[in-house]
Structure 1
Amino acid sequence: MSRFKSSFVEDDCYVLHSIPWKETSSIIKIFSRNHGCISIVAKGAKRPYSQLRPVLLSFQHLLLAWKNNTSNIKTLVRADLGEIFLLPGDSLMSAWYMNELILYSLASEDSHPSLFDEYSNSLKYLCNKSNYKASILRRFEWFLLKEIGYGIDKSEPDFNNQGLEPVLRLDLRRRMETMLGGKELLTKKILFNLHYSTTSN
């Protein structure tokens, strides 16, 4: 990436969530590799011919630059597409689940580069329809809990062992409930219902 003046920060990022702001702008929660979760305002992003509109997409590797100030909401100054991920439709809910986990579990501007890399790898795995999505999610949950200090002191399990997955899922679910403090994730509820409706048919 090109060098910016010290008044700007640039980093590898993913869009986690976006809400409208005023008539033509958006406030976007991003997960950046070296600066953690940050809220940025993308001015004019909702305009029909805005150059930001086709770039600021969820589940795409982005190169973003924003003003380096002390405000809780930064101002976006540049956005470029990095690596493009083409997620199949049946992987989107799994990807949204990972986004929701990050939003609920990480403090603002708390850097987690290893978790960022794991998230990026998980998106790559989800692009391949032949990969077992449950194993991808268990791996991401395990790394997230270990990263934020929720008692994962065991050696890394074999996430590709489908016979181990139900036991691992139960253990991770208990740890997740402790970490979330009673908050219910919308995406997890939907995934749970989809899993049991599929297995019961």
Structure 2
Amino acid sequence: MQRAELVQAFVLHRRPWEDNGSIIELFTATHGRLSAFARGVRGTKAKLAGVLQPFVPLLVSWAGRGEAPRLIHAEIDHATLPASPLPPARMMSAWYCSELVLALTARHDPQPELFACYRGVLEGLRTDARQEKVLRLYEKRLLEILGYGIAGLEEARFDDPEELERLRPVLKARMTQCLEGRDLRTRDVAISLKQFERSWQGH
């Protein structure tokens, strides 16, 4: 039986399971990406409904056998919780960053460097007015970490708007190649965003 206690994590995606449960796709600092079954986390009386939200740093514990263990605890990681939430106008960009992790990583493959990169891009989307720069830097770094880096970008000037215009199609082409025809789940992302906004408004 595998068991983990108070591991740093983010929720990448969640979908309903049984009457009041969810299957949570987590990105963790030490165990990579994994799915966990969570009971009693949906509904107005569910204590964890407001905790298991995307883009919020968490500490999670799980136990069980097989590929998908049972989530037994989750709490907000107040030590790393940003002072302000992600601006609504940046939500879709943050979902895009999460979708890339979902699409390009394997389950149970520890990626501590990518976890730090993901945390960093969320912070950048919260605080940096230059959204385009934040996203392109994230794409570049993600590709490098996963072994798909593009030669010649070491000296790229991401602060230069004209340089960003040149880099966008280059990064997009490599990302498309890595995705191998898999579409990002834009419809699921839009639905999840609406659910998140309703949940946020209710707190």
Q: TM-score range by the shorter chain?
A: 0.7 to 0.9
Question: Is 1:14 aligned with 2:10?
Answer: yes
Q: 1:44 corresponds to which residue?
A: 40
Instruction: Assess, with a 3 A threshold, how the Cα gap between structure 1 residues 33 and 9 changes in structure 2: closer, same or farther.
Output: same
Inter-partner Cα distance in structure 2 for 1:63 and 1:9: 8
Counting matched residue pairs gives 182
For structure 2, which runs of at least 5 residues remain unmatched after alignment? 190-203
Q: Secondary structure at the match of 2:69?
A: strand
CA drift at 1:60 = 0.4
Question: Is 1:123 aligned with 2:118?
Answer: no
TM-score by length of 2: 0.83
2:76 to 74, 77, 81: 81
Q: Is the 8 A contact 2:62 2:70 kept in 1?
A: yes
For residue 71 of structure 1, what is the amino acid of its counterpart? G
Q: 1:72 corresponds to which residue?
A: 67
CA drift at 1:162 = 1.6
For residue 181 of structure 1, what is the amino acid of its counterpart? E
For residue 124 of structure 2, what is the amino acid of its counterpart? Y
Q: 1:32 corresponds to which residue?
A: 28
CA drift at 1:156 = 5.5
Q: Secondary structure at the match of 2:91?
A: helix
Q: Secondary structure at the match of 1:163?
A: helix
1:151 to 146, 149, 168: 149
For residue 183 of structure 1, what is the amino acid of its counterpart? R
TM-score by length of 1: 0.84
Q: 1:132 corresponds to which residue?
A: 130
Inter-partner Cα distance in structure 2 for 1:125 and 1:20: 30
Q: Is the 8 A contact 2:56 2:76 kept in 1?
A: yes
Alignment root-mean-square deviation, CA: 2.0
Inter-partner Cα distance in structure 2 for 1:175 and 1:81: 35
Moved over 6 A (4+): none
Calculate percent identity across the aligned residue pairs: 34
Inter-partner Cα distance in structure 2 for 1:152 and 1:70: 39
Q: Secondary structure at the match of 2:25?
A: strand
Q: Is the 8 A contact 2:16 2:23 kept in 1?
A: yes
Q: 2:57 corresponds to which residue?
A: 61
Instruction: Assess, with a 3 A threshold, how the Cα gap between structure 1 residues 34 and 8 changes in structure 2: closer, same or farther.
Output: closer
Q: 1:184 corresponds to which residue?
A: 183
Instruction: Assess, with a 3 A threshold, how the Cα gap between structure 1 residues 156 and 102 changes in structure 2: closer, same or farther.
Output: farther
Instruction: Assess, with a 3 A threshold, how the Cα gap between structure 1 residues 71 and 120 changes in structure 2: closer, same or farther.
Output: same
Instruction: Assess, with a 3 A threshold, how the Cα gap between structure 1 residues 104 and 156 changes in structure 2: closer, same or farther.
Output: farther
